[in-house]
Amino acid sequence: MALINSPYNYLLYYAFICAAIPWFYSYYNDQHRLATMGVETAITKAWDRIISIPTINFQKIVVGINCNVDVIMQGVNVMNKINVTGIERIEDHEELSSLSDLYSTFLHFFSKGAPAERFMANEDAFKILTKLAESKDEKVHHSIGGNAAIMAQKMAASFPTTTVTLVGPIGPRSHALLHPSVVRNNSTRIVQDELHMIYEYKQGEIIGEFVAPASSRFITSHDQFSGSSIVIEMFFKVIAQVKPDLVVLSGIHLLQFQSKEMRLEKLRLLKRSLLQVNPLLPIHLQMASMSDPTFANEVLYRIIPYVDSIALNEQELTFLSKIGNGPYNEQYPVRSGALHVHKVVEMLYWLLSTFGHNRASPDSPNYNYRLQRIHFHCLTYHIVVSKGTDWSNLAAGLAAGAKIAGKQSCNLQHSRGESDLLEIRTSSRTLLDKHQDKVYEFDPHNPIASWMRNEIVFIYTPVLMMQRWSRILPSTSNFQQARFLRKRITVTDQPVIKKLKEPGADYLKDATTYSDVQSALLDPHSSLPYPPEQLENYLDNAQKVVKKSKYKGRKASALNFDHIPIEEQVVALFPGQGSQHVKMGGKVIDCPKSKELFDKSSEILGYDLFKICMEGPKTKLDQTIYCQPAIFVASLAAFEKLKTEREGLEDKLTDTAGFSVGEYAAMVAAGVLSFEDALKIVKIRAEAMHECNQRVASGMVTVKVNANSKLDEAMGEAREVSDEANELPLCEVANYLFCGLKVVGGSNKALAHLESNAQRFNIQIVKKLEVSGAFHTRLMEPAVDIVKEALKGVKMNPSSCNVYSNYTGKIYGRKGSEIKRGLYMQIAAPVKWEQIQQLLYRKHKEYNFPQYIEIGPGRQLGAMLVNVSKKAFKNYSSYPC
């Protein structure tokens, strides 16, 4: 007891307490810091803890066999410029033989938001595309292209002590763009660069009736040297001479565009050469887009088993599974959005099990195979799969790849606050392996998950993405700063023939050296082949030129409301037929101005509209001749009451849009039409459309489609069935609601055929609409002339805000004749509501949105808006009547 109470022991206790207090304080601070850390920052720091530098680096690397110059342009602008007409059908072409094929194939993938690459077999057509890129009225972005050249570029920039040798067709401009430390092979130098035209587009961009559901790109080329025997032979000759530590092979997908005999001969050459490479020398194959099933099958069986490692994305993986009869092969082609992880895992397991090395069975063909590693990458997650013990540092490599993928997506290098530009898109729980019931619980501090199935190791991690995409490039390419690309402008819309007469830009005169476009991995500045200051000045001047040339001689269409803060701007949305219900109008009749509208309507229509709205019966209210005027008046009555409750609403009203008959309410709200004139036209419109419905028994159904759907074929077959039954061959899209959801109008016979064959065409009939006919189809054509006649003499006033056209999916111009045409033409044309919603969504500034108010019966327009953008929907409200 005396020892315990000794003064020396008290000093020891005090020392222990003094040491414990800072430790507990530090521990508490660490826990608090981790708890309050942002998700994106936490996951980045977790990757940093995992990433470890290999003890032995590769000293010599040989990369081949494709090299080109990427010519990056805005795809929508290019498609509008080539001005192709007479396209009967939008479909994919495995090989492009004309500009019409290019236009059709581009739209095919544009409508799905899926990346694609196709070979342009027609040299003259490709020259036209080259001339378009060389025209002086639009700056394009040139960068080093070809997976082999891009990887060589990044290796040389990231690892200064490593000697990187590139074997591929290197022209004057690609030579200037390459990193100075990349060793070139003079035997494969060419006089003129091979060009890859990359046509990019952003989510929500519109071409005609098509809306891009996701940001992506389309690539076309006319390569002559990348897949040549000379380059292939030189590649393996350099391997023998240099004796590298690593071989990276890419560009074999370019062989698919050659004749069957020629490409088979070159695939045999590749396989023979691969078998002669030292088994201890690792060979990595970078996959790329393939469209020919026969060629892909040859690659799967002749090339993939004889490399040690491959990297591929979701399109390439699903295509290999499809042609190899692997699991989930129905997923090809992948539509916009990511594949479920457990499906990818099954396909990767099949690929590595079937075509991977198997040491356990010397008698099986797999014993002589080399494949032991696969790196799968998509926008939202990466997976590494490995078999055997030859590949180490797998988790570190996966973390490094995931980290750099997010940076590349928005051209970040070493900037601080980078997590503000990135976001994680993953659910809290993700099924990883259905076979083993492996579930991933998202934890930003421990983002990587790993597990084994038999002898195969799987490692998974989510990936950070750019919050707002401005450019989409292949995962091996550098991304450009968004501020330049959002401002890129088209100065002219002249035909292609005139473009061909203009002198093109001299490639060598305009060429840049590596110092102008250093690797985005090293230097935090633009990789555009033009000085940033010069580009800024060009864009500012070009905007002025555009405004002068584009609007010269006519009135501007879109009104500018930049003086009103975006959060205070109001977008009024008016519903259409189908939203009606008994007792609508009852909530607003207490407002004197609202009651006045109902009183006026009874005088004009000749019956008590308010009584029908309040008492029905529903069967009467659902009839077109009563329904359209009722929705029109009830919506405007609600608008009048809303204006009394929200003082200054009209001053902040910047945009109005209405669905079908709701467009007339939007016109009145914008001051274009008077209430009396609009109601008279709506009455005539309703009677004319009702009369059209008497021609044939018809209706409308809501149809859900995906990338694999064949809706056009289904509607074509339905029309044939109706024709054979001596009915009107009517079956066509009547409304574009939002991505993947359309309304189809047609005869009852056609719609019945559509429903009974939905599974065969991979479409889903969601519901049959309670309408009395096939509105906004050819059935309504007689009503067009009637409404056109009714609009004659009607005064069109200047609009106080932007009004959107159902017919074009764009903002109305200022001319009265243009507005009248849009109003009568939309009767027999599909309602382009999806296109209108995309324009309304794009009004945001840094994801600050205006106020979207649905005015009138129902919340149908809000239900569609949430499918376009959940962020925009947060600013949505409804004002019922």
pLDDT in tens, 352-383: 999 999 887 788 888 889 999 999 998 889 99
Residues pairing with 767 in the sheet: 702
Alpha-carbon distances of 283 from 64, 160, 248, rounded to whole Å: 11, 21, 6
Catalytic residue list contains 660: yes
What is the spatial distance between Cα 142 and Cα 196, in angstroms, rounded to a whole number? 10
Among the listed residues 273, 660, 747, 772, the single catalytic one is 660
Among the listed residues 174, 772, 776, 805, the single catalytic one is 776
Q: What is the pLDDT of residue 825?
A: 94
Residues of the chain scoring pLDDT < 70: 1-11, 13, 23, 25-37, 86, 137-139, 335-338, 408-422, 466-557
Q: What is the pLDDT of residue 140?
A: 83
CB burial string 275-312: b at 16+ within 10 A, e below: eebeeeebbbbbbbbbbbeebbebbbebbbbbbbbbbb
Show the domains of the chain with their CATH numbers: 569-693+779-879 (3.40.366.10), 698-773 (3.30.70.250)
Residue with tokens 């995931």: 402
Give, to the nearest 10 degrees, the angle between helix 314-323 and helix 341-355. 50
- For 66-122, what is each residue's pLDDT tens digit? 999 999 998 988 888 887 776 777 888 888 999 999 999 999 888 888 888 888 989
Residues making up the chain, counted from first to last: 881
- Mean pLDDT (the chain, rounded): 83
- CA nearest 424: which of 42, 739, 113, 48? 42
Structure-block tokens of residue 94:
């495995």
Q: What is the pLDDT of residue 29?
A: 64
What is the spatial distance between Cα 321 and Cα 348, in angstroms, rounded to a whole number? 9
CB-based contact 223:68 (threshold 8 Å): yes
Q: What is the pLDDT of residue 33?
A: 57
Percentages (nearest 5) of helix, strand, coil residues in the chain: 45, 20, 40
What is the spatial distance between Cα 292 and Cα 811, in angstroms, rounded to a whole number? 42
Q: What is the pLDDT of residue 740?
A: 84
Tell whether omega for the bond before 853 is within 30 degrees of 0, i.e. cis.
no
Residues pairing with 852 in the sheet: 571, 876
- For 307-343, what is each residue's pLDDT tens digit? 999 999 998 999 999 999 999 988 887 765 568 999 9
| Percentage above 90 pLDDT, the chain | 50
Residue ranges of the alpha helices (H) in 842-881?
860-868, 870-873
Catalytic residue list contains 142: no
